[in-house]
Amino acid sequence: MSDRVIKVGLCGFGVVGQGVFNHLQKRENDLSDQLGAKVEVARIAVRDTSKKRDFDFDSSILTTDPLSIASDPEIDVVCELMGGTGIALDVTLEALKAGKVVVTANKALICDHGEAVFAAAEQGGGQILFEASVAGGIPVIKAIKDGLVINRFSSIYGILNGTCNYILTRMTNEGASYQDILVEAKELGYAEADESLDVDGIDTAHKAVVLAYLAYGRWVPYKDILVQGIAEVTQEDIAFAKENDYAIKLLATMDVAHASGKLYISILPTLVSKKYVLGSVDGVFNAVSIHGDVVGETVYIGPGAGRDATASAVIADVVDAAKLLVAGGSQFVDPAPRGGERIELAEPEEIKSRYYVRLQVADKPGVMAEVTSLLAKNEVSLASVTQKEVEENAASATLIMTTHMTTEQAILDAVRALEESSSVEGKPFTMPISSFES
């Protein structure tokens, strides 16, 4: 064994940071044996040096200045585990410009500043690794950039947010409302105090942007993605799904149209067949299905969050970096295919699917005729309509419809027209019905 030491600086020492520290310590000898070099946590940036931590370590390696780690010539690998896009971005850019490897779990940072981050890496000869930013402990980023390197990807489908999948699964199993499950999920630590990043689909969209860059080489602006969360899913939707052998999943869809080559990305509650593997991935688990032109479909399932699962992914990147450093040097390699900036995004009129539509309508004569005629005007043709028996004296009824193949634009237009109708109460709820086969 050589006496080469790969020096790691941890910026951020919260749940994930301490997980990384702990597991690197525990397996230090194993790693040394395999790599022919020691991987050592040489410095740690914290907010409060006096705070008690879960693990023992030499407190002299602590600093309150993460930027001093980013610019420390002794440090080879900087783990950015602070989160946010403020100081985390400064640290990342500084370290990359200094030619270091930056390992991050920060999908918001990569999503919002990916272009600047990659430019800094290229300019400084650094490297940015971010396995932990998508799908937690599942090595899906390495799968796309290494394992499937020779493939082009016609589509990627992901269940990328464990909180949403947990809530939807419990709603399905227990018949309880979204609100009730959310409250319990918060108590149990499966949802954050401010749940909006998760349940509104924002976190999933961040991750989809990261995957899309890796697969297609294009930074898709967040604002160009149709994003809808799970807060509007009701037991009526769950019941429909169960009766028809579907599960409702918050699905990230990335799809390249065969004919036009245009890329479509959306984050939407989606009816997924229970016969298809993603339809049976429940609870906090994440899953990603990747369609490669050479390999065909491969699917990856595992824990999408949690201290140890995330630490497992962060450390995988640290070790990857260490291997390259031991081999002779790490240098910038863009993991994405070239030419992505030329990929156009598909317009809603180019996106085809079957849809599920749920409406609250006034219980009075002529409503059904009005609703169906509004849909027909927008070129949405119905495959099925169900109105449950209305209780005596109820002022409104729930209509559940499925459509034949139509376009996303047609559904958006139809929903707008329905919203404006005096017969329809509130906003209609729609979901695509996926055409996955088992």
What is d(CA 308, CA 31) in angstroms, rounded to the nearest whole number? 18
Question: Is residue 97 annotated as involved in ligand binding?
Answer: no
The 8-class DSSP code of residue 344 comes to P
- Backbone angles phi and psi of 303, in degrees to 5: -70, 130
Which of 69, 79, 108, 143 touches its own copies by CB under 8 A? 143
Shortest CB 295 distance to its own copies, Å? 4
Judged by CB under 8 A, the stretch of 8-16, 80-88, 134-142, 226-234 that binds its own copies is: 134-142
What amino acid is encoded at 368 in this protein? M
Residues 273-292 close enough to bind its own copies by CB under 8 A: 277, 280-282, 292
The nearer residue to its own copies, 219 or 429, going by C-beta atoms, is 219
Q: How many residues bind its own copies (CB under 8 A)?
A: 60
Which of 156, 301, 346, 431 touches its own copies by CB under 8 A? 301
Which of 10, 35, 93, 220 touches its own copies by CB under 8 A? 35
CA atoms within 13 A on the CB side of 314: 33
C-alpha distances in Å from residue 196, one per residue of 136, 284, 426: 19, 17, 21
Q: Tell me the two tokens of residue 181.
A: 């499950």
Question: Is residue 419 annotated as involved in ligand binding?
Answer: no
Which of 294, 389, 393, 420 touches its own copies by CB under 8 A? 294
Q: Is residue 18 close enough to count as binding its own copies by CB under 8 A?
A: no
Judged by CB under 8 A, the stretch of 223-231, 335-343, 389-397, 406-414 that binds its own copies is: 335-343
Q: Is residue 15 close enough to count as binding its own copies by CB under 8 A?
A: no
Q: Is residue 151 close enough to count as binding its own copies by CB under 8 A?
A: yes
Catalytic residue, candidates 7, 100, 145, 207: 207
Query: Dihedral of the CA atoms 16, 104, 267, 166 (nearest 10)?
Result: -10
- Give the H or E element holding residue 80: strand 77-80
Q: Tell me the two tokens of residue 310.
A: 């995330």
Q: Is residue 174 close enough to count as binding its own copies by CB under 8 A?
A: no
Shortest CB 35 distance to its own copies, Å? 7
Return the residue matching tokens 């149709």. Answer: 226
In terms of Cβ atoms closer than 10 Å to its own Cβ (0-12, 13-18, 19+), residue 147 is middle
Let me know if 352 is a catalytic residue. Answer: no
CA atoms within 13 A on the CB side of 128: 33
| DSSP helix/strand/coil, 306 | coil
* Contacts of 115 by beta carbon, 8 Å cutoff, 6+ apart: 219
Binding positions are: 107, 192
Provide the binding-site residues for its own copies, judged by CB under 8 A: 23-24, 27, 30-31, 33-36, 131, 137-139, 142-143, 146-151, 277, 280-282, 292, 294-303, 306, 308-309, 311-313, 315-316, 319-320, 323-324, 326-331, 333-335, 337-338, 438
Binding positions for L-homoserine are: 192
